[in-house]
Structure 1
C-alpha cells in the first residue's frame, strides 16, 4: 500500500473511531437517573440468588450467607436465606415479618420504626423505580451508563444517619447486581445478586 493510501486509510479508521466514541458519549449523556428509574419501574416482578458477606470489626473474616430474593411490585420484597441456616424476611406493604429458625415470626409495622423503614425502602424504592421514595430518605447520587450504573444513598433521616453512613446499589440495565451497606461504626454488608429471572 502506498504512503498516500495508507494515510487515507488511517484517517478513515480514525474518523470511524471518533464517530463511535461520540455516539457512545451521546448515549451516556442521555442516560440519567429518571431513565434508570423508568427502566426499573417496568420490571413488575423478579427472582434472584444472592451471596451476602457481613464484615464486623471484631471478627477475623466475614460472615457469609446465601439464598434467594424475590420482588413483586409495588410493595412485596422477600429475602430467604438458605445457608448457613434458614431465615426469611418478608416485606409486604407496611408489614415486615422476620422468621428465624423455629422461633415465632416477629412482625413489625414500618410506620412504627422509621429507621428500619428508611433502610428497607432503599432496596424496595430502587427495585420499583420509585425516585420519590428514595429521595424522601436519602440524598441520591447517580453515576454510570446503562451497562454499569451506581446509586449512592446518603441518609437525610437523623435516626438512619446514626446507623448507616451510606448505601451503594449497582447494576446493569434493569438488574441490580450489588448492594453495599456501610455503617457508621465501620461494619459493612456486601451483597452480590445474580441469576435474575422474570417469571
Structure 2
C-alpha cells in the first residue's frame, strides 16, 4: 500500500517481494516463527479492512486514512482509501498505479523504486505463508506463541530498503494479524489497525492509544 512518501505497507495478510537481498546467506528464522508465518498464509484473493495513522515529525497531528487492503494473487496488491478521500493504489505487472478522485491516474515502474520491489516481494511472501522467501529480505524475530498473542519483527537486510524502512512490527493473536507498525528510517511512523480492529481507530489517535489497542484483548 502506498501513502504519502513512496512506500509499501503490509497488511494482515500484510507489508513483501523480489529484489536482491543481502550478499551473505541469511540465517534461518526460528522454527516457531516459520510455523507462525506458514499459519498466516491464505489463498488469494484476500481482503481486509484497515485504518492507518501516520505520525510525521513535520506535523503535530497524525494523518488518518481508512479503507480496504487486497491481495489479488501473485504480486498483485491493491490499497483502496475510502476516508477522508477516495484513492486507489494498485501494484500489478511491475507497475504502480495511483488513482485519486477527480484526477488522472499516475503510473510508475517498480524499477524506479527498488526498495518498493523488495517490500512487495516480502509482503507477498508473508501473505502466502512463505517464511523462506520472507527471510531473504528480512531478519525475523518472534515473541509470544502462535496459539496466543504474538509479535513478529522484521528488519530489512537490504541497505537500500533500510534507508527508508527501519523495521516492521506485526502484532497478532492466533492466525489473525491485528496491527502493523512501520518505523521509517527518518523517524516517521505508520500504524495500521487491521480487520475488525480497524473500526476502533480513535478520532485523535496517539501512539500510546494505538499500542494499547494492538496489545489488548481480541
Same fold, judged at TM 0.5 (above)? yes
Compare the two structures and name the one with the higher helix fraction: 1
Partner of 1:195: 196
Partner of 2:47: 47
Displacement after TM superposition at 1:125 (Å): 2.3
Displacement after TM superposition at 1:42 (Å): 4.1
Q: Give the Cα–Cα distance (whole angstroms) in 1 for the partners of residues 83 and 71 of structure 2.
A: 20
Displacement after TM superposition at 1:191 (Å): 0.3
TM-score (norm 2): 0.68
TM-score (norm 1): 0.74
Give RMSD over aligned pairs: 2.3
Displacement after TM superposition at 1:173 (Å): 2.9
Displacement after TM superposition at 1:168 (Å): 0.8
Bigger RCO (CA 8 Å, 6+ sep): 2
Structure 1: gaps (5+ residues) = 1-29
SS across alignment from 1:195? helix
- The CA deviation string for residues 18-50 of structure 1, in whole angstroms up to 9 with x for no partner, is xxxxxxxxxxxx971221222223444322211
Compare the two structures and name the one with the higher strand fraction: 1
Partner of 2:36: 36
Q: Give the Cα–Cα distance (whole angstroms) in 2 for the partners of residues 184 and 84 of structure 1.
A: 26
Partner of 1:139: 139
Q: 1:93 to 1:140 in 2, by over 3 A?
A: farther
Partner of 1:185: 186
Residue 74 of structure 1 contacts residue 128 of structure 1 at CA under 8 Å; is this kept in 2?
no
Q: 1:133 to 1:68 in 2, by over 3 A?
A: same
Q: 1:72 to 1:144 in 2, by over 3 A?
A: farther
SS across alignment from 2:89? strand
- Structure showing greater Rg: 1
Displacement after TM superposition at 1:67 (Å): 0.6
SS across alignment from 1:171? strand
- The CA deviation string for residues 138-169 of structure 1, in whole angstroms up to 9 with x for no partner, is 11112221232222111111111111111112
Structure 2: gaps (5+ residues) = 1-29, 198-218
Partner of 1:174: 175
Partner of 1:98: 98
Partner of 2:10: none
Partner of 2:115: 115
Displacement after TM superposition at 1:56 (Å): 0.5
